[in-house]
Chain A
Amino acid sequence: MIEVNNIGFSYLISSQKILNGISFKIHQGEIFGFLGPSGAGKSTTQKILYKILHGYTGEIKIAKKPLHDWDKSYLEKIGVGFEFPNHYLKLTGRENLQLFGSFYNANKLKPIPELFELVGIQDAIDKKVATYSKGMKMRLNFIRAIMHEPDILFFDEPTAGLDPGNAHKIKMYIKQLKEQGKTIFITTHNMNTADELCDRVSFINEGTLQITDTPQALKSRHGKHTVSVLLKNKMQQEFPLKNLGTNPEFLSFINSQEVEKIQTMEATLEEVFLKVTGKTLN
């Protein structure tokens, strides 16, 4: 669905390259995560993909057609959930969606009350957005991105500012969108969000893609291939995963006492990021 080949970008006023030969593919029905610290080039890549920034080098294809050949119909196909809430504060939630919805094909628009119900802010539908909490405004961002049934969705920190309950709801809904065949591009520096949602992730640092793979593959490739066993008497020992079922030492250890916890020693995405880029995400 999205093919990015060797794109580079720098702002006119600066000779420093913001993006340096980035390439990746996002398949239809895939959730792709872009992970990196602030200033790594995540937002710049997204801005190029939703045609706000021009003047990049390299090639981008959307549904096999070069991005610069797409006219404004491309913008009917995409939905963007911005990182920060951006609404008309003096209008109500309903009026905001009516206003922006009026620019899209009316046949594809979802009913506004249904959208509000989806993210649990139906009681605030006719209240001015100025009275919304940050979490409510972020949920309004989310439903504005999906109201016209776009095929491609860009989410920038989709769970930022949400309490765990609502963050969970949004994540579940993003998974549903994937099930419907939507192509989803998430930029985040929240490793839990990326780990839970993304089919594949790319690490970006200083405008360069460092690595792309499934979160699971990255975690196991960069972790230890062992399991750690913690017994009730607080004794703990690590055993290699290879031939674990027939390892006499392991079997005798777990039979010696009641087991409290067994866990694989794969790395977290954060640790993998640190290992690959030498940088932390925050």
Chain B
Amino acid sequence: MQQILKISIADFWLIFRDASLKTFLFLPLLIFFVILWALPALIKAFPIVADYKKYILIVSTIQLTQMFGFIYGMMLVDEKETGVAKVYGILPVNKIGFIIGRFFMPIIITILLTFLLLLVQPFYNLASFPCLIFSILSGLLVPVYAIGVSLLSKNRIEGLVWVKVMNLIIVLPIVAFFVPKNISYFFSVFPTYWLYLGLDQMIFNQYFMINWAAGFLYLLILLTLFSLQFTKKHYE
């Protein structure tokens, strides 16, 4: 725990020294603003928007993972580009433990923010336990996103390109709600498809656990594969 705290403090120290990373810490404020004030005001002015509030809420909650996904993704890429990753490779820390330590705080913060957003959103009356489960699943997206970006990029420029691709992968499954059912299954290759589907079912009090279990398993497999590859490649 002491090690986790030490790593987290060091990382926050680094985030606050980088203007572009620091700015991303304000992303949740923007998302909360949209859901709590902008969207209700928009619905009031243009009632037709109410038909889409569910989709906006689903995408907004998942967008909360973007904050630490982007920040940590870019931090890891930067460490690779500057050779700092090599220094971590020779530090007396367990490499898998180091990944867990690094992502512990961002995952916890993402879970809390997602949980809070689902509880305070003004559109649906959602039970807190399912909200918590969904928040935990969202939290798992952060390391998958960040490690994925770092594995695919050699430098910051490539990192920014892969962040865009990653955003697309995360948001794209929302299209599944607007296409015929037989086509919507194509989106199941994206891990967030299962989260979206489950959240949609939760909103309408349907059985959502199977979709979330599938999403959980999918994210866990990705995280394991990415972490193994990361420990092999990142420190070289």
Residues of A near any B CB (own CB < 8 A): 47, 50-53, 72-76, 78, 80, 82, 84-91, 95, 99-100, 102-104, 144
Contacts and interface: CB of A to CB of B under 8 A. Distances in A.
B86, B90, B235, most chain A CB atoms within 10 A: B90
B90 A80 contact: yes
Contact of B83 (A52, A82, A103, A144): A82
Given A47-B236, A50-B89, 17 more contacts: A52-B90, A72-B92, A75-B92, A75-B93, A78-B90, A80-B87, A80-B90, A84-B83, A86-B83, A86-B84, A87-B82, A88-B17, A89-B82, A99-B10, A102-B10, A103-B91, A104-B91
Nearest to B92: A75
Nearest to A90: B17
Contacts of A80: 87, 90
A184 B138 CA distance: 48
A100 B236 contact: no
A89 B82 CA distance: 8
A86 B90 contact: no
Given A53-B236, A95-B13, A99-B13, A76 B92 contact: yes
A86 B86 contact: yes
B84 A52 contact: no
A38 to B, nearest CB: 17
Nearest to A105: B92
Contacts of A102: 6, 10
A87 to B, nearest CB: 7
Contact of B82 (A52, A72, A86): A86
Contacts of B94: 72
Interface of B: 6, 10, 13-14, 17-18, 82-84, 86-87, 89-94, 235-236
A91 B89 contact: no
A78 B92 CA distance: 10
A88 B92 contact: no
A102 B13 CA distance: 13
Contacts of B18: 90
B92 A144 contact: no
A73 B92 contact: yes
Nearest to A83: B83
> Closest 5 A-B residue pairs measured CB to CB?
A86-B83, A75-B92, A90-B17, A103-B91, A72-B92
A103 B92 contact: yes
A49 B6 CA distance: 27
A123 B75 CA distance: 28
Contacts of A144: 87
Contacts of B83: 82, 84-86
A53 B231 CA distance: 11
A88 B13 CA distance: 11
Contact of B93 (A53, A89, A103): A103
6 contacts: A53-B236, A72-B93, A72-B94, A86-B82, A88-B14, A88-B82
Nearest to A128: B17
Contact of A50 (B14, B82, B90): B90
Contacts of B10: 99, 102
A202 B92 CA distance: 29
B86 A75 contact: no
Nearest to A95: B13
A102 B5 CA distance: 11
A116 to B, nearest CB: 18
Contact of A52 (B14, B17, B93, B236): B236
Contact of B91 (A87, A95, A100): A100
A99 B8 CA distance: 11
A85 B86 CA distance: 11
